[in-house]
Amino acid sequence: MLRNPAEKYRPFPAVRLTGRKWPGRTIDAAPVWMSTDLRDGNQALIEPMNAAQKLEFFEMLVAIGFKEIEVGFPSASQNDFDFVRKLIDEHRIPDDVTIEVFVPSRAELIARTFEALEGVPRAIVHLYNAICPSFRRIVFNQSKNEIKALAVEGTRLIKEHAQARPGTRWTFQYSPETFNMAELPFAREVCDAVAQTWRPTRDHRMIVNLPASVEAATPNVFADQIEWMHRNLGYRDSIVLSVHPHNDRGTAIAAAELALLAGADRVEGCLFGNGERTGNVDLVTLAMNLDAQGIDSGLDFSDLAAVRRVVEHCTRIPVPVRHPYAGDVAMRIAEAASSDVVDAGKGGAAERDEANEYAIA
């Protein structure tokens, strides 16, 4: 660690956005929830989950109320491929749940992905490629046009595979990876080119997912980036605008909440914030924050202790003691408040009022 780390870094540039609307808005409805625990969260583990653990986790996510669940990266490992096949072959996907799979823009990996999905009733195929300057220059050594062409070609191949399998209802998702560190006009250009290739409609929308792949700015900057895309994307009325906040600066919850104010329709993350490096946005906290504001999150965490047990068992990662809702401290306070309310019920009105105030606090 440098003695003065500030000497090494430059401030993140502000977004040129006039008349920003998000500061004056309030959240009044829950987003579409996407759990990436079985892909992003699983990749973060020293020992990835085995098939039994992944199935236990999947069934818990279904019970909580998730309708979209990213179940793996079937072209990356045989274990993920086999797990996707298990869900399909054993008819374990409820009729109101859509599974999602992840794939880079490479022809052989896209073909392998569709092999894994053969016969699935509904699926989201999630294509990604990195677009920011450092990846273009250092990793790919490609121009903007070449990076855009990679995204378009992947989209074309996925559309071709999907059209060859009309028995499945396919949803296409595109992520310009490292979106938050890319030039906004270029991010829009790539997303528009992808949408032009896929041709979404209001009746069959595609998903544009904007990841803060490495969180690098304050949440208000991310909100500005999302509002800029919300205003400027082509096909906007045929697109579900999704965000995938990471927690490298410790502000993923705030970034997700402000992104919803800025026009996002959907949030991807993991239970208790598991995920690469410092984690993805914590969907438990995010959902329960909504519930605490009188907004029905649509997710059922009424038995939060049981959810915590399953997550800790499957990931072997303990929930932090001061997690806002599921940590030991919060759990003890909730148990004490509940006990006091029960005891107060045996007394008079004054005692009940005092106990209720304590429970709310």
Segment 52-69, tens digit of pLDDT? 999 999 999 999 999 999
Give the pLDDT confidence score for residue 339 in this predicted structure.
67
Residue in the structure block whose two tokens are 């803060």: 212
HSE-up of residue 8 (Cα within 13 Å, Cβ side): 5
SS (H, E, C) the chain: CCCCHHHCCCCCCCCCCCCCCHHHCCCCCCCEEEECHHHHHHHCCCCCCCHHHHHHHHHHHHHHCCCEEEEECCCCCHHHHHHHHHHHHCCCCCCCCEEEEEEECCHHHHHHHHHHCCCCCEEEEEEEEECCHHHHHHHHCCCHHHHHHHHHHHHHHHHHHHHCCCCCEEEEEEEEECHHHCCHHHHHHHHHHHHHHHCCCCCCCEEEEEEECCCCCCHHHHHHHHHHHHHHCCCHHHEEEEEEEECCCCCHHHHHHHHHHCCCCEEEEEHHHCCCCCCECEHHHHHHHHHCCCCCCCCCCCCHHHHHHHHHHHHCCCCCCCCCCCCHHHHHHHHHHHHHHHHHCCCCHHHHHHHHHHHHC
Residue 356 has pLDDT above 50, yes or no: no
How far apart (Å, rounded) are the C-alpha atoms in residues 196 and 172?
A: 13
- Specify the pTM: 0.92
How far apart (Å, rounded) are the C-alpha atoms in residues 172 and 194?
A: 10
Residue 143 has pLDDT above 60, yes or no: yes
Give the pLDDT confidence score for residue 358 in this predicted structure.
40
Residues 273, 316, 70, 259, Cα dihedral to 10°: 0
Q: How confident is the model at residue 180 (pLDDT cuts 50, 70, 90)?
A: very high
Give the pLDDT confidence score for residue 342 in this predicted structure.
52
Closest CA to 41 of 304, 314, 322: 314
Amino acid residing at 211: P
Residue 293 has pLDDT above 80, yes or no: yes
Give the pLDDT confidence score for residue 161 in this predicted structure.
98
Over residues 65-76, mean pLDDT: 97
How far apart (Å, rounded) are the C-alpha atoms in residues 18 and 15?
A: 9
Give the pLDDT confidence score for residue 331 in this predicted structure.
85
Give the pLDDT confidence score for residue 1 in this predicted structure.
79
Give the pLDDT confidence score for residue 344 in this predicted structure.
55
pLDDT digits (tens, 9 = 90+) for 181-236: 999 999 999 999 999 999 999 999 999 999 999 999 999 999 999 999 999 999 99
Supply φ then ψ for residue 97, to 5 degrees: -115, 135
Distance of CA 105 to the CA centre of its chain: 20
Q: How confident is the model at residue 352 (pLDDT cuts 50, 70, 90)?
A: very low
Over residues 113-136, mean pLDDT: 97
Two tokens, residue 177: 């990876």
Give the pLDDT confidence score for residue 341 in this predicted structure.
54
Given phi > 0 = left and psi -120 to 50 = alpha, else beta, which region is 144?
alpha
Provide the percentage of residues in the chain whose pLDDT is more than 70.
Answer: 93
Contact 287, 297 (CB under 8 A): yes
Residue 30 has pLDDT above 90, yes or no: yes
Q: How confident is the model at residue 336 (pLDDT cuts 50, 70, 90)?
A: confident
Contact 208, 242 (CB under 8 A): yes
Summary mean pLDDT of the chain: 93
Q: What is the rounded end-to-end Cα distance, in angstroms, of the chain? A: 40
How far apart (Å, rounded) are the C-alpha atoms in residues 78 and 60?
A: 23
Q: How confident is the model at residue 355 (pLDDT cuts 50, 70, 90)?
A: very low
Give the pLDDT confidence score for residue 361 in this predicted structure.
43
Two tokens, residue 74: 């079937």
Give the pLDDT confidence score for residue 349 in this predicted structure.
47
Residues in the chain: 361
Buried-state track 189-228, b at ≥16 Cβ within 10 A, e below 16: bbbbbbbebbebeeeebbbbbbbbbebbbbbbbbbbbbbb
Over residues 3-17, mean pLDDT: 93
pLDDT digits (tens, 9 = 90+) for 254-276: 999 999 999 999 999 999 999 98
Residue 285 has pLDDT above 90, yes or no: yes
Please give the domain boundaries of the chain with CATH numbers for all domains: 17-315 (3.20.20.70)
DSSP bridge pairs for 269: 35
Contact 36, 270 (CB under 8 A): yes
